[in-house]
Amino acid sequence: MAKRGKPGNFELMKLSGEKMTRVQLEEIIREISEATRVSDEGSFEIVRSGATVIQFGRFRISITRPPFSDGMEVTIVRPVVKLTLEDYKLSDKLMDRLRKKAEGVVIAGPPGSGKSTLCASLVEFYQKQGKIVKTLESPRDLQVPDEVTQYGPLEGDFEKTADILLLVRPDYSAFDEVRKTKDFEIFSDLRLAGVGMVGVVHASQAIDAIQRFIGRVELGVIPHVVDTVIFVKDGQVKKIYDLDLTVKVPSGMMEADLARPLVEIRDFETEKLEYEIYTFGEEKVIVPVKETAAGISPVKKLAAERIMQDIRKFDPRAIVELVSENKVVVKVDNSVVPRIIGKEGSTVNALEDKLGIKIDIEPKTAALGNEILFETYEKGNSVEFVFDRRFIGKAASLFIEDKFIFSATIGKNGNIKVAKDSDIGKEVFRAIVGKRKIKVFL
């Protein structure tokens, strides 16, 4: 089989209708291995039990055998195009940024989108600017000028490569495929040591590339490690982000005392703020700065979810209402209001400090009057609620759990009757049988 085409437009086609035999595959592997041993163009990049990766000139050759794979396989990949940075038709603004300021560049995109091709173009661009450029790769398959030395993992460890790289002290280093946590740490260490870095990261969206740094790099350090994110898809630059650290009240919050350090992520070309990264409660979150179709901003949704997690410990049926970007009203059962507020407001104040949003606690039935006691009897074809005689003539509202069912006037005998065969009667009877909580408010 062969893949023909270019990024974004590949076609898988059959080269032959006959199935390749094991003998044929072994012969191909033997020829590749012998050519690699005797040629200056070839090198064994990765050798493991059941897997070998060879770089032979422009070709990257991956060989797998059982038990690692269920069958013998040889995959040969070659670059289909070599581009310069000018071929991407980047804006003058971005070219000026790459030439003068960008020193923490992340190139992101899905597999086969052309990330490594852009990385090689950027390496060549810096080399022509009179910069000393090195690469960290495994395998070393970037198509770069001869003046650029390509480093692999020293003794199988890129951390040891980084130690040597710091002694060489290049102006820029390109790290092709930053995947593991250790890779992100090495990328950060080299950048903070003053080396300009270009990293290639797998990501389905531009924002996902930044997300992968969260938890691996301190929040306040991220803009110093990554200042420019270039998202590539189908061989074209689709999105560019600019990162900046600031201290302000997050979008969607109003109280001045909620100001905190946060990372702003802006569209590089339009300078429009699209995301903010900050600490919310105990988590670091990326929040889109825009209204959803329903008119509720993501920060409000996040606040509601986090508040519900804490409030449910007091009342599993609590209701959270977002009344503004910086304020929520939490409605709970009357009996748990004192516990949620705490002594002199200590409990609710702790929640406000933790989540960074104003919280008002209200009883669910505050506007309905006082809850009154009653007894329930089943009489023939009706359910009868009996109250203290001093409530005769008063209007009463009946709730099942927190759902309003009906209102009625307490009769001259101090009771309210509901027919079993009515819709309300059926619902009330099911609640009694199911031992659900029934409340009546005067």
Q: Write out the chain in H/E/C secondary structure.
A: CEEEEECCEEEEECCCCCCCCHHHHHHHHHHHHHHHHHCCCEEEEEEECCEEEEEECCEEEEEECCCCCCCCEEEEECCCCCCCHHHHCCCHHHHHHHHHCCCEEEEEECCCCCHHHHHHHHHHHHHHCCCCEEEECCCCCCCCCCCCEEECCECCEHHHHHHHHHHHCCCEEEECCCCCHHHHHHHHHHHHCCCEEEEEEECCCHHHHHHCCECCECHHHHHHHCCEEEEEECCEEEEEEEEEEEEECCCCCCCHHHCEEEEEEEECCCCCEEEEEEEECCEEEEEECCCCCCCCCHHHHHHHHHHHHHHCCCCCCCEEEEEECCEEEEEECHHHHHHHHCHHHHHHHHHHHHHCCEEEEEECCHHHCCEECCEEEEECCEEEEECCHHHCCCEEEEEECCEEEEEEECCCCCEEEEECCCHHHHHHHHHHHCCCCEEEEC
Q: Do the Cβ atoms of 142 and 120 come closer than 8 Å? A: yes
What is the average pLDDT across 394-407? 81
Q: What is the Cα–Cα distance from 359 to 321, expressed in whole angstroms?
A: 10
End-to-end CA distance of the chain: 79
Residue 242: the pLDDT is 94
* Mean of per-residue pLDDT scores for the chain: 86
Q: pLDDT digit string (tens) for 179-194? A: 999 999 999 999 999 9
Q: What is the Cα–Cα distance from 219 to 278, expressed in whole angstroms?
A: 8
pLDDT at 135 over 50: yes
Q: Do the Cβ atoms of 436 and 401 come closer than 8 Å? A: yes
Place of tokens 């065969």: 421
Q: Do the Cβ atoms of 193 and 173 come closer than 8 Å? A: no
Q: What is the Cα–Cα distance from 298 to 305, expressed in whole angstroms?
A: 11
| CATH 3.40.50 at 368-441, yes or no | no
Does this model's pTM top 0.85? My answer is no
Residue 303: the pLDDT is 66
What is the average pLDDT across 375-393? 89
pLDDT at 161 over 90: yes
> CB atoms < 10 A from the CB of 305, how many?
10
Confidence band of 292 (pLDDT split at 50, 70, 90): very low
243 or 81, which is more confident: 243
Residue 162: the pLDDT is 94
Q: What is the Cα–Cα distance from 67 to 48, expressed in whole angstroms?
A: 12
Q: What is the Cα–Cα distance from 229 to 392, expressed in whole angstroms?
A: 73
Q: Per the CATH hierarchy, to which homologous superfamily does domain 298-366 belong?
A: K homology (KH) domain (3.30.300.20)
pLDDT at 365 over 60: no
Q: What is the Cα–Cα distance from 352 to 367, expressed in whole angstroms?
A: 25
> CB atoms < 10 A from the CB of 256, how many?
8
Helices 158-168 and 181-192 pack at an angle, to 10 degrees, of 10
Place of tokens 């600490």: 279
Residue 381: the pLDDT is 86
Q: What is the Cα–Cα distance from 238 to 110, expressed in whole angstroms?
A: 12
Q: pLDDT digit string (tens) for 21-80? A: 999 999 999 999 999 999 988 999 989 999 999 999 889 999 999 999 999 999 999 887
Residue 319: the pLDDT is 79
Residue 132: the pLDDT is 94
Residue 296: the pLDDT is 54
Q: 130: exposed, middle or buried (C-beta count within 10 Å: 0-12, 13-18, 19+)?
A: exposed
Q: What is the percent of the chain where pLDDT is above 70? A: 92
What is the average pLDDT across 161-170? 92
Residue 293: the pLDDT is 41
Place of tokens 């893949």: 3
Q: pLDDT digit string (tens) for 190-220? A: 999 999 999 999 999 999 999 999 888 888 8
CATH number of 85-248: 3.40.50.300
Instruction: Give the least confident one: 34-43, 188-197, 274-283, 399-408.
Output: 399-408
Which residue ranges make up each domain of the chain?
2-77, 85-248, 298-366, 368-441
pLDDT at 301 over 80: no
Confidence band of 294 (pLDDT split at 50, 70, 90): very low
Residue of 296, 302, 298 whose CA lies nearest to 355? 302
Q: Which residues are CB-contacts of 281 (< 8 A; sequence separation ≥ 6)? A: 306, 354, 355, 356
Q: At residue 264, what is the residue type?
A: E
